[in-house]
Structure 1
């Protein structure tokens, strides 16, 4: 695909992993009792919903098992008056995030081109940026 798509999928993966780390071992009541953790998780959920809102339809079509509609609905709720709706936030934490991360990992194996940052480097005339023989490469020369 392209650099933007790879970056968007990376944001979903990174924010989702952060949410799982922040909520590991927490029950719902404990999660909502910890203001700092809850606010950080909502910040990551918001980043994920905003990212999903900007993923092109053609990319979504390549990944039909991801609950794009659920992410869109959660985004609306986080923007609106339901931001503090415990059910919506907890659904995001315990359902949307783990399922999305699972599908992203499976798609990374079956559709690696969606996740490649430099897939189009040769087509753009940039060559292999990791090639030590390329003067524009970041790789060290021996």
Structure 2
């Protein structure tokens, strides 16, 4: 992969990760855990976006992840092993991700976008 295509690849992965997180926050809104788990529409979409985030974290080059150490990329990668959630423990993990992982990850990615704009640029 040449430098230009690698830059586009990284920028697209970072944008996709961020946008999937944002979509989850919109889908969940201010729902409680019980409301979320009872949702036949939002829950599968959230799980789809979480899968996308886990896959994206796994595909993000290690050197790029290393430039953003305040995002726990390894935990995002490991999340993929629990999707779709097939038991109560995995469902509890999904809710933890929604409540405790997403807000700080989004905040850190916004900070990194300001600090490392070259990673986020879609330029040829």
TM-score normalized by the length of structure 1: 0.78
CA RMSD of aligned residues (A): 1.8
Q: Which contiguous aligned blocks of 4+ residues in structure 1 show a shift greater than 6 angstroms?
A: none
Structure 1 match to 2:3:
none
5+ unaligned residues in a row in structure 1: which ranges? Answer: 122-142
| Aligned-partner Cα distance in 1 for 2:50–2:29 | 15
Cα displacement (A) at 1:85: 2.3
Larger of the two Rg values belongs to structure: 1
Structure 2 match to 1:19:
24
Q: Which has the higher contact order (CA 8 A, sep 6+)?
A: 2
5+ unaligned residues in a row in structure 2: which ranges? Answer: 1-5
Q: Contact (CA 8 Å) 1:6, 1:115: kept in 2 or not?
A: yes
Cα displacement (A) at 1:88: 1.2
Q: What aligned pairs does 1:1-142 form with structure 2 within 5 A after superposition? A: 2-78=7-83, 81-82=86-87, 85-118=90-123, 121=124
| Aligned-partner Cα distance in 2 for 1:80–1:21 | 20
TM-score normalized by the length of structure 2: 0.88
- More helix by proportion, 1 or 2? 2
Secondary structure in 2 matching 1:93: helix
Q: Contact (CA 8 Å) 2:23, 2:49: kept in 1 or not?
A: yes
